[in-house]
Structure 1
Amino acid sequence: MSYFTHHVFICCNQREAGEPCCNTIGGTEAFTYAKDRIGALKKNGAGAVRINKAGCLGRCDSGPVMVIYPEETWYSFIDRDDVEEIIQEHLLNGRVVDRLKI
């Protein structure tokens, strides 16, 4: 059994100026929102959800991106509403958000 029910990695990589990267289009903001939201819902810690910053996940053209394990589900998102939908549907209710899946 996994230590966490879900382990989320959100790309917060910052490349040199002009190069596409998740951080310049909201990676760190999404990480902060997701981490704070999971904490507020008291869904963090052992047996629950872990939100982590990640370096480059290699999918810059689809960014910003996150990947959720153990399902190995990749998402692209635009704003807090998208991140909230992933939290509510995937992390809390176990349903993949097909419209955001990459």
Structure 2
Amino acid sequence: MAPPYRRHVFICTNRRPPDAPRQSCAASGSEAIRDAFKKALAKRGLNQEIRANASGCLEACECGPSVVVYPEAVWYGPVSLDDVETIVEEHLVGGRPVERLRMDFSKIRKPAEKPAESKLPTVR
């Protein structure tokens, strides 16, 4: 049996408390963006082959609202309501990712990493 959808559009709808040190996509309007994707896909009759899903945190808060399209793994952000039609027409219908909306991963804060413990014996 074939998979029910050929593409998934994940829209981060994570909401953090107002005093959190990082912004959240929901506070930046991502829930309305998800609704706009659903309407745009349904209007074109694509909602049976492309699924717009609410997502938890995609760890790209600095570039949010964040959207990722699979199976291509194309990340977009920040995305506005005005960008939804462009993504649907150019990427999901036309097959060409929208370069100007692609996420700049250099802007994303990396979680603090612990230094790796060496398993080699210390030379004295």
Per the normalisation by structure 1, the TM-score is 0.91
Number of residues paired by the alignment? Answer: 100
Among the aligned pairs, what percent are the same residue? 38
Runs of 4+ deviating beyond 3 Å: none
Q: Is contact 1:77–1:83 with CA below 8 Å preserved after alignment?
A: no
User: For the aligned residues, what is the CA RMSD?
Assistant: 1.3
**What is the aligned partner in structure 1 of residue 26 from structure 2?**
23
Query: Which AA in structure 2 matches 1:35?
Result: K
Greater C-alpha radius of gyration = 2
Ranked by relative contact order (alpha carbons within 8 Å, sequence separation 6 or more), the top structure is 1
Equivalent-residue separation in structure 1 for 2:58 and 2:79 (angstroms): 17
Unaligned regions of 5+ residues in structure 2, if any? 104-124
The equivalences for 1:21-100 within 5 A come to: 21-45=24-48, 48-100=49-101
Q: Provide the secondary structure at the position in 2 that maps to 1:8.
A: strand
Per the normalisation by structure 2, the TM-score is 0.76
| CA displacement 1:52-87 (0-9 Å, x = unmatched) | 000111100010011000000000144222111001
Equivalent-residue separation in structure 2 for 1:77 and 1:84 (angstroms): 15
Equivalent-residue separation in structure 1 for 2:71 and 2:51 (angstroms): 12
Equivalent-residue separation in structure 1 for 2:60 and 2:67 (angstroms): 10
User: Which structure: greater strand fraction?
Assistant: 1
Unaligned regions of 5+ residues in structure 1, if any? none
User: Which structure: greater helix fraction?
Assistant: 1
